[in-house]
Chain A
Amino acid sequence: MAVKQRQKKRLLRKLLLSSRSNSRLWAALLALCIGTSLLLLSVMIWWNFQQLLEGKQDNDSLGSTFLTISKKVTDENMAKPKMTLFTDADIDALDHAPQVRDVGALTSNRFPVYATLNASFGFATEMFLEAVPDRFMDKKPEDWYWQPSSPEVPIILSSEFLNLYNYGFALSKGLPQLSESSIESLAFDLKVGAGENSQTYRAHVAGFSDRITSVLVPQSFIDYCNKVYANESYTPPSRLIARVADPSDKAFIQYLQSNNYTTNSEQLRWSRLRGVVEVVSSATGLLAILLLGIGALVFILFIELTIARAQHSLSLLLQIGYSPRYLGRFMMQHFFPLLLFTAALSMAIAVLVQMAAADWIKQLHLNLPQWPGLPVWGALAVSTVILLVLVSRSIIRAIGRTT
């Protein structure tokens, strides 16, 4: 039976496919292959960028996706301090803004704070304190807690401050540069409140934060002191901290701008890059679709030409009892493997490119998956299915014209 089928196919090939001009076929297949590869490439550019931003891969060096947000101080509102505070409604709205996953308030002190570094040094300064919910902290020291009976307050400094001192201040004044551990070993006094209603605590630097540019103390300390020394049970925050999935998202940036919020703008450098990536990705995609279209067109024209040339044989085959469906299937069986082969070739190219990209990006201390992700396979599946549908329809139509 198999032999019989083979012989029948051989005769059908001789009748229906012998007069084909191969150069056109190869040109069409080449265009399809390049088109599909470009399509996959454009999806991959977009997808890899997404991976860098919010993928599960560990990409610390991209900077945190925690943004501190404050209202812009403008000429109009600079005289009215309340204008730059966040209301509950503001916080709630930000929580629901695009890309925002979590919002917390930075609570600042409403009472005077006076730090004295070991009285004999004679170094004293007024300062400010802030607190942030623990879930927003990048580092949480072991002794990071405070309760009203504790005489000792842990403090986290922004590493920016240390940098400013070490590279800006100390060098110009001929002062010694300080390491993190040397600062952590220093103890100093923290006097909160004024006059009779004041209290002195022992304080030490428990760690440094890269995420929040401030002087942080435990939330319980700020809340307690605000109540006791400033007589304020609640003050609206002037700064918020938000965990953001994709800080380069256009809608998110638009939200910030329309509300006149500012943030550490360096964090938003990705938005500019995203613009470039989107242009490159969509330009590649457009070119890909153009090429795919041309490739599909040439391929379909080639099939129609083949069928038109075999018109005489085809109509005679139908006259001796071959069914259009059978002949259509025969044509599809001949042409589909070519299409599937080009699709496989394109995917192989995509996989190689992805592997090369993953290797290359390692040098930048970033991580990308070794294999193209689901959207890339999805694009391949969709483009291949569309192509197969177009081709089978053209085959059925061309044979239908003969009957």
Chain B
Amino acid sequence: MQLSLRQIVPTPLRDKINAYNSGIWQQNIDLYKGERIFIQAPSGTGKTTFIHTLYGLRTDFEGIIYWDAYKLPGMSVEDISKLRAMYVSVIFQDLRLFPELTTWENLEIKRHLTGTASQDEVETWLARLGMKDKRDSLAATLSYGEQQRVAIIRALLQPFEWLLMDEPFSHLDHANIEKAAALVSEVVQQNGAGMIMADLDDNEYFPYTRKLWL
């Protein structure tokens, strides 16, 4: 699945964007299948806006986004659901777990949607990220670091051609970042998928094929 951006400008950032030269806003960019893109985005440049816009959560922008033949704006809500369930997965910066569900239930509700991963796989991944003993804790009682690891695993429990990540490791220490990045790399590779990683500072968590400035 190819991602093509045509002159995207988020309405709230319009004036600000005109003042500097962005590598993404107001550009024509094609991101090809399997690419690993790093987007460096200092605070206030619209990093989260960008991820949310790609994911179809925001409609307050000008320009056109193509996910292959799918076109934003203009996709039906059912098509957007299909895109999210089958082609594009996301790790939100603000994690977005169900606080009233346990770690396990948060993962199960995603896993049951497509049935891509097995229960054993989920157990293994939880263990790899050191979350095994938090399996039955309510998400509301988890620390940010723990919630972030649940959010990472959740994003991997579906088929996807692109993985969108918005500061996915912001609450993790170096050791945990390494484990998480390894897991993400592995599953992205299994899927033959591409990734878009947006973060504040430059990093080498993944072998990026391109780096862009927002």
* Residues of chain A at the chain B interface (Cβ within 8 Å): 4-5, 7-8, 11-12, 14-15, 18, 313, 316-326, 400, 403
Mark contacts of B72-116 with chain A using CB atoms, 8 A cut-off: 1 yes-contact digit, 0 otherwise.
000001100110111000101000101011000100111011110
B97 to chain A: closest residue by CB: A316
On whether the beta carbons of B158 and A325 are closer than 8 Å, the reply is no
Chain B contact residue count (CB 8 A cutoff): 25
Interface residue? B57 (CB, 8 A): yes
Q: Is the CB of B84 within 8 A of A319?
A: yes
Neighbour of A323 across the interface among B57, B82, B98, B100, CB < 8 A: B82
Which of chain A's residues have a CB closer than 8 A to the CB of B101?
A: 11, 14-15
**Contact check: which of A4, A8, A18, A321 meets B84 at CB < 8 Å?**
A321
Enumerate 11 A-B pairs (CB-CB under 8 Å) in ascending A order.
A5-B112, A14-B105, A316-B96, A317-B109, A319-B84, A319-B96, A320-B154, A321-B86, A323-B77, A323-B82, A325-B81
A319 touches B57 (CB 8 A): yes
B154 partner residues in chain A, CB cutoff 8 A: 320
Evaluate contact between A323 and B112: CB separation under 8 angstroms.
Answer: no
Residues of B within 8 A of A4 (CB): 112, 115
Q: Which residues of B contact A319 (CB under 8 A)?
A: 55, 57, 84, 90, 92, 96
**A-B contacts at CB below 8 angstroms, number:** 64
Contact between A320 and B100, CB atoms less than 8 A apart: no
**B77 contacts A324, CB within 8 Å?**
yes
Given contacts A316-B96, A321-B84, contact A8 B78 (CB under 8 A): no
Q: Is the CB of A324 within 8 A of B112?
A: no
Query: Are B112 and A8 in contact, with the CB atoms below 8 A?
Result: yes
Please report B residues at the A interface, Cβ cutoff 8 Å. 55, 57, 77-78, 81-82, 84-86, 90, 92, 96, 98, 100-101, 105, 108-110, 112-115, 154, 158
When the two chains form their complex, are residues A11 and B100 in contact, meaning their CB atoms are under 8 A apart? Answer: no
B98 in complex: contacting residue of A7, A313, A324, A400, CB < 8 Å: A313
- Please, which residue of chain B has its CB at the minimum distance from the CB of A327? B81
Q: Once the chains bind, are B110 and A325 in contact (CB under 8 Å)?
A: no
A324→B84 contact, CB < 8 A: no
**Chain B residue at minimum C-beta to C-beta distance from A4:** B112
Decide: A324 near B81, CB < 8 A? Known: A11-B108, A15-B100: yes
Provide the residues of chain B in CB contact with A322, threshold 8 Å: 81, 85, 113
B84: A residues at CB distance < 8 A: 319-321
A15 to B158, CA, bound (A): 20
Please tell me if the beta carbons of B158 and A321 are within 8 angstroms of each other in the complex: yes
Given contacts A321-B158, A323-B78, A323-B85, contact A316 B98 (CB under 8 A): yes
CB-based contact B100/A7 at 8 Å? no
